[in-house]
Chains A and B, each alone.
Chain A
Amino acid sequence: MATIQTIVQFFLDLGASVFLPVIIFILALIFGAKPGKSIRAALMVGVGFVGINLVLGLLVNNMGPAAKAMVERSGVELSIIDVGWPASAAIAFGSNLAALVIPAGILLNLVLLFTRVTKTINIDIWNFWHFAFAGALVQAVTGNIWYGLISAMIFAATMLFFADWTAPAVQQLMGMPGISLPHGASTSMVPFAVIVNKIIDLIPGLNKMEADPEAIKKRFGVLGEPVFIGVIIGLAIAALGYAGSGPFATWFPRVLQSAISMGAVMVLMPRMVALLMEGLIPLSEAAREFLQKRAGGREIYLGLDSAIAIGHPASIATSLLMVPVVLVLAVILPGNRVLPFGDLATIPFMVCMMIPVVRGNVVRATITSTIIMIPTLYIMNALAAAQTTVARSASFNFPEGASTITSMVDGGNFLAGIFVWAANNFWIGNAIILAVLVIAWTLYKKNSATWERVAGYRED
């Protein structure tokens, strides 16, 4: 027994860039991928990991000191850096929980499918990282990997429910029959969108308002380009931090260099994740075939990445409007210490599942997003310490004492927040969460037509 523990510890100590490829290789083989392909894929995962670590270093080394200087001079206390979802995905995949979440998630899905609880097969294995991420936070808080796994599985089940519930509306909006979107970050927004949408229906004047998404896209289009977000915010932070301290020839180049470095982070980070992603493709394809083969002939929805819903004009327009809104909220909300940055380019993932509910109405989607952003910022503040702990244990090294990190879309996700909060009293907390899920799911099954209409589906 002691030997096994020594061996396991040896592998964990190798760090995620070595440990994860081994796990990915084994999982890919189990699901029936070819060995040659699996090895190449596993190595790409390791490479992606190293790449993300490099870019994260660039971000923290530049943004950290600039943000610190800004805090000291302006008194705007925004010292927790939003490193964006790519880093969070790497952190989640680098946690030892991820190796459990993938097989357990597939098993849970099959059980719920065969017991006819859900119609969705989530073939989007890549996005299991959202569940692993929330679970890893629970693990960091409780020190218990099984607690983390249980939270991750309740999260995964909740997304299957929301995916079933929204499937008719999503299929109608996308014009794609047979799909659903059980995406941890996007689909968890659905209940808020439903509630806010109902309230807007009752407000005279507001319930008639609409805006033209194409016009907004044209006017604000540049705001959505990651390189501009990076350079502009880098410039602003560095200018607030360094401008006027010492001779012009010292601070001015420093400000410009910071701005370009931040632009580089925004452009390079997704490129690194694409490598990680490339390495996961054989595993996710093998898992997809494994699941589809076992699904049988009945009506099922194939659960895909919500990225396919992001291109809707209303989704893009709302996300562009939200960039300045989030920055203003970060400055004016009392007690907030988070500096939104990396995930400003990821806002579409928070917005895209609201679009079917509000039926493409930009005004409603913007109001819903603005409201949800307030708890999101406070949850980020609350979870940042846990996220930083997980990042360190996934062997992401940033300078000692330099920074606390977070990421908006997942580090501020309300379900992640609920799971971490419930972890204080794990069994009671999770029993309550599970009871709410079962009751809601049962009510939906009894009266699915009404529920689906509320989520934006129209029979005509």
Chain B
Amino acid sequence: MMKGKKRILVACGTAIATSTVVARKIEEELTKRGIDVVITQCKAAEVPSKVDGQDLVVTTTFVSGTGNVPVIHTVSFLTGIGMEQDIEKIVEYLK
């Protein structure tokens, strides 16, 4: 059976620096595990207008207005500490 790709919204302060690191890292780790995802980067302030249709929000900063979409607020992809657990969490949410 064909399943639609899961969608992850990655939010940070500018949608450039930290979210690029996080997005690439998540993509790399999930690809390793054979999970195909579509990742969109945005600014924290844009989350409410972009959250529709997403399966998960991963953010390095504060976000509000995410509705029912689960949010993971973490800097582990920047520090390397606790990254494995966060990847596991992401995999869990995407199931």
Contacts and interface: CB of A to CB of B under 8 A. Distances in A.
Given A277-B17, A281-B21, A288-B80, A308 B46 contact: no
A126 B44 contact: no
B38 interface: no
Contacts of A359: none
B69 to A, nearest CB: 16
Interface string A137-179: 0000000000000000000000000000000000000001011
A383 interface: no
A306 B14 contact: no
Contacts of B62: 311-313
A450 B94 CA distance: 46
B64 A308 contact: no
A309 B61 contact: yes
Interface in B4-35: 11-21, 24
A316 interface: yes
A292 B80 contact: yes
Contacts of B61: 307-312
A326 B41 CA distance: 28
A348 B13 contact: yes
A349 interface: yes
Contact of A274 (B13, B41, B81): B41
Contact of A278 (B13, B24, B64): B24
B14 A307 contact: yes
Contact of A307 (B18, B46, B64, B80): B18
Q: Give the interface size bracket for A toward B.
A: 35 or more
Nearest to B59: A311
Chain B contact residues: helix, strand, loop or mixed: mixed
A119 B92 CA distance: 35
B45 A316 contact: yes
Residue of B18, B19, B60, B61 with most chain A CB atoms under a 10 A cut-off: B61
Given A123-B79, A176-B75, A273 B45 contact: no
A251 B71 CA distance: 49
B63 interface: yes
23 contacts: A86-B16, A123-B79, A124-B78, A178-B79, A217-B45, A221-B45, A277-B20, A278-B24, A284-B21, A285-B80, A288-B80, A304-B75, A304-B78, A305-B13, A305-B17, A305-B18, A307-B13, A307-B18, A307-B61, A308-B18, A311-B11, A311-B59, A312-B61
Interface of A: 86, 123-124, 126-127, 176, 178-179, 214, 217, 221, 224-225, 270, 273-274, 277-278, 281, 284-285, 288-289, 292, 302, 304-313, 316, 346, 348-349, 352
Given A224-B43, A281-B24, 15 more contacts: A123-B79, A273-B16, A277-B21, A292-B80, A302-B78, A304-B78, A305-B18, A305-B78, A308-B18, A309-B13, A311-B11, A311-B45, A313-B62, A316-B45, A349-B13
Interface of B: 11-21, 24, 41, 43-46, 59-64, 75, 78-81
